[in-house]
Amino acid sequence: MDFLKVHGLGNDFVLIDALQQRPDIPGHLDWGELAKKACHRQLGIGADGLVILLPGKNADVRMRIFNSDGSEAQMCGNAIRCAAKYLYERRLVSEEVIRVETLAGIMRPQVILEGGRVAGVRVDMGEPRLERSQIPMAGPPGWVIGEPLLAGDRVFNVTAVSMGNPHCVIFVPDVEQVPLAEAGPLIEHHPAFPERTNVEFVQVFNPEEIKMRVWERGAGPTLACGTGACAAAVAGALNGLTERAVKVHLPLGALQIEWAGDNHLYMTGPAEEVFTGSYPV
């Protein structure tokens, strides 16, 4: 099977175009098992996740995302930017705004062009979901803003946001001092989150700039998370720490996030192609 290695600010994926592959190849595959093998850093191609582009039922294309542990994700902001770049530059779509069907609903990435090439992608990420049951998170009805959560022997003040997938945002004085490999799994698998959760540790520089480190559900530590950046922006505004438009600094660059007046989150950032190849299936 032919594949393309892509990344958004270091959050990397194996992208498979099942729109144009031989029709007998995608049909018999267990995508979750393929993700575990292909994403393995030593024994496979190596990636945070596997992205498959399929014919859309109610949109231009359908995107499925599998984490490196084989679990399926509802949505991924970095992956959808990479998918949009691929689709537009291969002329598989003709419009600059692309309708992409995901498990979190239909998303609408818009390519930003410079000299006919895709220089970046702006994505309407939809509305944040804030009710506890929508995260989902155990507990009484209402929003979760700065709520104490005991994980291991530490208490974290958490804000919960769903961007079609669950996020637990924690504000800290210095993200570099967070023991991510210890705290991330404790919160991801916390009993309060029946479907597990992504975990974002966020440091506020000023009302318009924040820095984030992320532990992704099903993938572990990654260099970037688009839905996580959106969740962090929402959490910053809800806690009165930031404006509704913020630059989210990540290890390899920044995403611009705007929580607009229509209650939608808009994410703007880069997408890069690394190499192509063929993987045995």
Catalytic residue among 39, 82, 168, 225: 225
Catalytic residue among 76, 82, 168, 230: 76
DSSP strand pairing (154-162 vs 166-171):
antiparallel
Q: Is 225 a known active-site residue?
A: yes
- Nearest-CA neighbor of 254 among 220, 223, 276? 223
Query: Could you write out the DSSP letters of every residue in 68-86?
Result: TTSPEES--HHHHHHHHHH
- Whether the Cβ atoms of residue 92 and residue 81 lie closer than 8 Å to each other: no
Residues counted in the chain: 281
- Nearest-CA neighbor of 83 among 158, 15, 169? 15
* Residue burial 140-167, b: 16+ Cβ < 10 Å; e: rest: eeeebbebebebeeeebebbbbbbbbbb
| Radius of gyration for the chain, computed over Cα atoms and rounded to the nearest angstrom | 18
- Active site residue ranges: 76, 225
